[in-house]
Amino acid sequence: MDLREKRALNNGFGEALSRAFEFAVSPVIFGFLGHLLDMRLGTSPACLLLFAAFCVIGLFVKTWYAYDAEMKAQDAAGPWRKGQQQ
């Protein structure tokens, strides 16, 4: 395994860890902010659930588009594209 392959592998682990942290912590933060707003407005868990759901949906959409863009870039740089015109 050469150094470039090892670097790509380590970068993949780092990206996976950061995405996992983002998926775990972001809904908690948004839910907490919703809870604070619920306490201020006197509503029960409405804002908490709304904010947490909004965050999870936003993370899904962000992940979907980032994955799609990355796969298109990988496909465009593949060895099967050498010598072909678009």
Q: Is residue 79 part of a domain?
A: no
The answer to whether 7 touches 29, Cβ cutoff 8 Å, is no
This prediction's pTM: 0.75
The per-residue pLDDT for range 30-82, each reduced to its tens digit, is 999 999 999 999 988 999 999 999 999 999 999 999 999 989 988 888 787 76
Mean predicted confidence (pLDDT) in 1-29: 86
Q: Is residue 36 part of a domain?
A: yes
| CA-to-CA separations, 61 to 18, 44, 56, 65, 85, in angstroms, rounded | 17, 28, 9, 6, 31
Q: Is residue 86 part of a domain?
A: no
Total domain count for the chain? 1
Q: Is residue 33 part of a domain?
A: yes
Q: Is residue 6 part of a domain?
A: no
- Rounded CA gap, 5 and 1, in Å? 6
Q: Is residue 73 part of a domain?
A: no
Range of the domain at 44: 25-51
At 69, give phi and psi (nearest 5°). -65, -40
